[in-house]
């Protein structure tokens, strides 16, 4: 079968590899739509970083590895002991790989597993292939009114959902979202689905501002033209937002984000930083602000996102800015995202045609 595999920095190939076989507890899925993620891009440009170069503690695999962890597909085979799925089911895939034995896993925080990995980055195949075999626990059935295209968006949306869920955000709170890329847009949609009436977004790119507006941001600020801290105070009751979500991961935005948070408020980091940041502890101390980290999502978040979409509280289709064929993945996918980042939210690759 064909698979898009990452071999190393700026080296992605469409390889021919064996079709995986189904074992106990597993489901074989034919991927249909697969998104390209910022972390895929990061690996392509500067990796291997997330992708293991020594055997991954759980999968035992190393590069070259099949890419693709944001995907939907059709169940094409199930193991004898699997009763939860049947051939033809439409599913999306929760790609966390965890050992189930470390302290974090035992506490239920599989996203913080001390040996964790991801389908599509650490082994077990990926969505950019003709077939994939997964533990049944990775698969979530799509409601009838959720398309396979939208199914490929559940993974990034779950990141935003989890961030809002885990943060101290409460009804009627105000929120600042730093950055209007795919994850920033996911946070905006999660906040709106939960009824937030004061979502403030800080973003430079005009196209990304349009996306933020489309997904319901109440106020859009340009950090190159406006004083974000003062504007956030003006747009709240004079003392700043309750929660800020950092989806940008750059020093200047971080500093503004901290100062835009009110006393006893929280800044939530979702961004993956490319380098270390400078923190002024006094900014936290004098206003009793908190800083917290968010890593992907946990069991349950996928279903909550699927419910929100199925019930019409989230309409994420507009995140899909382009759909491309499997063979176009490098030029039309990775290179396009690099060249045209500000105008692109999600590019979906068609891994298989629907019959």
CB closer to Zn ion out of 107 and 285: 107
CB closer to Zn ion out of 89 and 99: 99
Q: How far is the CB of 300 from Zn ion (least distance, A)?
A: 17
Q: How far is the CB of 114 from Zn ion (least distance, A)?
A: 5
Residue with tokens 């034919």: 30
Distance between CA atoms of residues 52 and 278, nearest Å: 29
Give 303's Cβ-side CA count (13 Å radius). Answer: 7
Q: Do the Cβ atoms of 335 and 328 come closer than 8 Å?
A: no
Q: How far is the CB of 111 from Zn ion (least distance, A)?
A: 10
| Site residues (CB under 5 A) for Zn ion, limited to 34-63 | none
CA dihedral 93, 105, 40, 319 (to 10 degrees): 50
CB closer to Zn ion out of 106 and 214: 106
DSSP 19: P
* Interaction between residue 165 and Zn ion (CB under 5 A): no
Q: How far is the CB of 102 from Zn ion (least distance, A)?
A: 3
Other Cβ atoms less than 10 A from the Cβ of 31: the count is: 28
| Site residues (CB under 5 A) for Zn ion, limited to 225-264 | none
DSSP states along 74-97: EEEEE-TT--S--TT-EEEE--EE
Counting residues that bind Zn ion (by CB under 5 A) gives 5
CA separation (Å) from 57 to 50, 60, 97, 342? 13, 6, 10, 36
Which range, of 105-113, 117-125, 255-263, 324-332, touches Zn ion by CB under 5 A? Answer: 105-113
Binding mask 301-340 for Zn ion (x = CB under 5 A): ----------------------------------------
Among 37, 91, 93, 105, binds Zn ion (CB under 5 A): 105
| Site residues (CB under 5 A) for Zn ion, limited to 84-103 | 98-99, 102
Return the sign of the alpha-carbon dihedral for residues 154, 156, 159, 160: negative
CB closer to Zn ion out of 111 and 266: 111
Q: Which residues contact 63 (CB under 8 A, 6 or more apart)?
A: 6, 7, 8, 48, 51, 52, 53
Phi-psi region at 130: left, alpha or beta (left = phi > 0; alpha = psi -120 to 50): alpha
Phi-psi region at 238: left, alpha or beta (left = phi > 0; alpha = psi -120 to 50): left
CB closer to Zn ion out of 1 and 102: 102
Q: How far is the CB of 66 from Zn ion (least distance, A)?
A: 23
Overall size of the chain counted in residues: 355
Q: How far is the CB of 30 from Zn ion (least distance, A)?
A: 29
Among 37, 74, 78, 113, binds Zn ion (CB under 5 A): 113
Other Cβ atoms less than 10 A from the Cβ of 188: the count is: 28
Which range, of 106-114, 154-162, 194-202, 345-353, touches Zn ion by CB under 5 A? Answer: 106-114
Q: How far is the CB of 282 from Zn ion (least distance, A)?
A: 36
CB closer to Zn ion out of 102 and 133: 102
Q: How far is the CB of 99 from Zn ion (least distance, A)?
A: 4
Distance between CA atoms of residues 208 and 250, nearest Å: 17
Q: Do the Cβ atoms of 17 and 307 come closer than 8 Å?
A: no
Distance between CA atoms of residues 274 and 110, nearest Å: 24
Q: How far is the CB of 25 from Zn ion (least distance, A)?
A: 18
CB closer to Zn ion out of 113 and 294: 113
CB closer to Zn ion out of 117 and 160: 117
CB closer to Zn ion out of 86 and 106: 106
Residues that bind Zn ion (CB under 5 A): 98-99, 102, 105, 113
């Amino acid at each position: 079968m064909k698979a898009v595999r990452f071999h190393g920095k700026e080296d992605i190939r469409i390889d021919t590899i064996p079709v995986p076989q189904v074992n106990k507890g597993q489901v074989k899925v034919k991927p249909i739509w697969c998104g390209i993620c910022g972390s895929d891009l990061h690996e392509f440009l500067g990796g291997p970083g997330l992708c293991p170069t020594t055997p991954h503690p759980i999968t035992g695999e190393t590069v070259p590895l099949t890419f693709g962890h944001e995907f939907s597909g059709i169940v094409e085979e199930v193991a004898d002991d699997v009763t939860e799925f049947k051939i033809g089911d439409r599913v999306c895939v929760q790609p966390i790989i965890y050992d189930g034995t470390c302290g974090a896993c035992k506490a239920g925080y599989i996203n913080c597993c001390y040996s964790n990995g991801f389908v599509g980055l650490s082994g077990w195949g990926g969505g950019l292939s003709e077939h994939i075999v997964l533990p049944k626990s990775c698969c979530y059935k799509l409601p009838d009114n959720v398309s396979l295209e939208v199914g490929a968006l559940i993974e990034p949306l779950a990141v935003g959902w989890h961030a809002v869920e885990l943060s101290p955000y409460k009804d009627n709170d105000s929120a600042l979202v730093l950055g209007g890329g795919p994850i920033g847009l996911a946070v905006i949609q999660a906040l709106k689905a939960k009824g937030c009436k004061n979502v403030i977004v800080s973003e430079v790119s005009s196209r990304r501002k349009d996306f933020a507006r489309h997904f319901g941001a109440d106020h859009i600020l340009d950090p190159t033209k406006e004083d974000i801290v003062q504007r956030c105070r003006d747009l709240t009751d004079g003392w700043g937002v309750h929660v800020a979500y950092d989806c940008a991961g750059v020093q200047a935005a971080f500093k503004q984000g901290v100062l835009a948070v009110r006393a006893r408020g929280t800044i939530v980091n979702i961004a993956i930083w490319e380098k270390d940041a400078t923190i002024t502890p006094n900014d936290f101390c004098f206003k009793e602000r908190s800083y917290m980290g968010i890593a992907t999502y946990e069991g349950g978040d996928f279903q909550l996102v699927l419910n929100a979409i199925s019930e019409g509280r989230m309409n994420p289709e507009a995140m899909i800015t382009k759909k491309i064929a499997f063979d176009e993945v490098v030029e039309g996918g990775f290179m396009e995202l690099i060249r045209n980042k500000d105008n692109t939210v999600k590019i979906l690759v068609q891994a298989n045609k629907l019959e």
